Amino acid sequence: MVPPKKRRHILFGRVNFIALPDPGPAMTSHLMPTYSRVDLAFAQGEGAWLTATNGERYLDFCCGVAVTALGHRHPHLVAALTEQANKVWHVSNLYDIPEADRVADRLCAASFAEVVFFQNSGAEAVECSIKTARKYQSANGHPERYRIITFEGAFHGRTLAALAATGNKKYLDGFGPPVDGFEQKPCGDLDAVKRAIGPETAAILIEPIMGEGGVRVVEPAFLKALRELCDRHGLLLMFDEVQTGMGRTGELFCYQRTGVTPDVMTLAKALGGGFPVGACLATREAAKGMTPGTHGSTFGFNPLAMSAANATLDVMLAPGFFDHVKKVGLLLKQRLAEIKDRYPSLIAEVRGEGLLIGLRALVPAGELVDALRGEQVLAVAAGDNVVRLLPPLIVSEAEIGEGVARLDRACARLDAAHSRQRKQEAAR
């Protein structure tokens, strides 16, 4: 048994309200300590709710960071995965995998794409998109075109190439020279992108809404201008929809809201409804270099993962599903605008689309996340001092109301603590 970590309790009266892991040496866990985890574990999920091992019930507006889009233990997903588990778990890509054909057919029917490669994570899907772009240029007789333009504040994953695409110095530090062939430009700065396009440029990679970067919505006009630049210079336009995809913004894919169609698109997070699966989608033309032997994955196309993805699609493609997402998304945004008006010293802005919503905070975002957890709501911080609210797409109007009521209480508590603090400082 691993003994509980020591905790520091700060700021607020309630025990376990703001609890930071002790940075001291008493680390006995055998997990590589790359995460500072909260002292909270969950035993059971049901829809938008998670029950902790201590019996407390939490409203899950984090969704394992945009993964469990259909909530926990969705009966259709449970049935599909159980059925597949009783058939076959794994076979290898040496053989046909009918479940994979079916997911690919359905994703292509629902999007611009014509071919799909499946992996196990978002970073791998991004890797596949990078390889697809480089091979496309190479197949066109331009192997020298390998460089990809990405954007400041983006997030594309943690493998070495995805990190180089991300370009965040904090994540790259100490890992040796970053993979060559990526440069970040300020999002929205078209002139900077134009100047960056040279004889070695292969593609432009962008998230239509920067999720980890703080729910920053990219202007459709900017995406349209990128599309035109790509067409003019023979570059591929690639959308990283690992977070925005699979209904998060109120359409199956975010690009459908923008009026701009990419050549390549990556998916992961919600694709398997909680089962690990990623995908790189492309037109046949964009994927022309991905010929037999050029790419592979042992676990990619795994029948369990494919069954989970098919079950997710069954639910999402049913009539009316996205009407619900749009409706609750709008309700959440309206209710959050009221909270912002009530606590102008805590919340500066409500932004995002559908159920990918960010609150830009005027106190450290982590404090608001902790205060929410104190009210038994799970949320997650993002860049630009933003708190992300990512309810499951099946969330009810009543659960949105409950979440907002709890946010209200968390803000009231935080507001009181901060005004106490200000008074004490003024008295000194």
181 binds ligand PLP (CB under 6 A): no
C-alpha distances in angstroms, 93 versus 120, 160, 278, 296, 297?
14, 25, 16, 8, 8
Distances (CA, A) of 250 to 206, 324, 327, 346, 392: 19, 8, 9, 27, 12
Q: Which residue, 123 or 417, has its beta carbon nearer to ligand PLP?
A: 123
Nearer to ligand PLP, 246 or 346 (CB): 246
- Comparing CB distances to ligand PLP, the nearer of 155 and 275 is 155
Q: Which of 329, 310, 349 is nearest to 400 (CA)?
A: 329
Which x/- pattern, by CB under 6 A, does the window 115-134 give for ligand PLP?
------xxx--x--------
Q: Min. distance of Cβ 157 from ligand PLP in angstroms?
A: 4
Task: Give yes or no for residue 384 binding ligand PLP (CB under 6 A).
Answer: no
Residue selected from 240, 263, 370, 375 as contacting ligand PLP according to rule CB under 6 A: 240
Nearest distance, CB of residue 200 and ligand PLP, angstroms? 24
Smallest distance, Å, CB 210 to ligand PLP? 8
Q: Looking at beta carbons only, is 209 or 414 nearer to ligand PLP?
A: 209
Q: Applying CB under 6 A, does 242 fall inside the site for ligand PLP?
A: yes
Closer residue to ligand PLP, CB minimum distance, 272 or 374: 272
Q: Which CB sits closer to ligand PLP, 121 or 132?
A: 121
Q: Which is nearer to ligand PLP, 242 or 407 (CB)?
A: 242
Q: Does 380 bind ligand PLP (CB under 6 A)?
A: no
Interaction of residue 67 with ligand PLP, rule CB under 6 A: no
Residue of the chain from 47, 153, 208, 211 that contacts ligand PLP (CB under 6 A): 211
Residue 255 binds ligand PLP (CB under 6 A): no
Q: Smallest distance from the beta carbon of 370 to ligand PLP, in angstroms?
A: 22
User: Of 45, 157, 303, 354, which lies in the binding site for ligand PLP, with binding defined by CB under 6 A?
Assistant: 157
Candidate ranges 77-85, 154-162, 372-380, 404-412; the one touching ligand PLP (CB under 6 A): 154-162
Contacts of 40 (CB under 8 A, 6+ apart): 52, 373
Binding of ligand PLP by 187 (CB under 6 A): no
Find the residue with minimal CB distance to ligand PLP. 122
User: Which C-beta is closer to ligand PLP: that of 309 or that of 363?
Assistant: 309
> In angstroms, what is the minimal distance from the CB of 70 to ligand PLP?
18
Residues binding ligand PLP: what is the number (CB under 6 A)? Answer: 15
Of the two residues 157 and 374, which places its CB atom closer to ligand PLP in the complex?
157
Please state, in angstroms and rounded to a whole number, the distance separating the CA atoms of residues 253 and 200.
Answer: 30
Q: SS in 3 state form for the chain?
A: CCCCCCEEECCCCCCCCCEEECCCCCCCCCCCCCCCCCCCCEEEEEECEEEECCCCEEEECCHHHHCCCCCECCHHHHHHHHHHHCCCCCCCCCCCCHHHHHHHHHHHHCCCCCEEEEECCHHHHHHHHHHHHHHHHHHCCCCCCCEEEEECCCCCCCCHHHHHHHCCHHHHCCCCCCCCCEEEECCCCHHHHHHHCCCCEEEEEECCEECCCCCEECCHHHHHHHHHHHHHHCCEEEEECCCCCCCCCCCCCCHHHHCCCCCEEEECHHHHECECCEEEEECCCCCCCCCCCCCCCCCCCCHHHHHHHHHHHHHHCCCCHHHHHHHHHHHHHHHHHHHHHHCCCCEEEEEEECCEEEEEECCCHHHHHHHHHHCCEECEEECCCEEEECCCCCCCHHHHHHHHHHHHHHHHHHHHHHHHHHHHHHHC
Would you count residue 155 as binding ligand PLP (CB under 6 A)? yes
Of 111, 243, 307, 312, which one interacts with ligand PLP (CB under 6 A)?
Answer: 243
Between 211 and 250, whose beta carbon lies closer to ligand PLP?
A: 211
Q: Which of 60, 99, 127, 212 binds ligand PLP (CB under 6 A)?
A: 212
Q: Stretches 43-51, 140-148, 204-212, 391-399: which one binds ligand PLP (CB under 6 A)?
A: 204-212
Contacting residues toward ligand PLP, per CB under 6 A: 121-123, 126, 155-157, 207, 211-212, 240, 242-243, 268-269
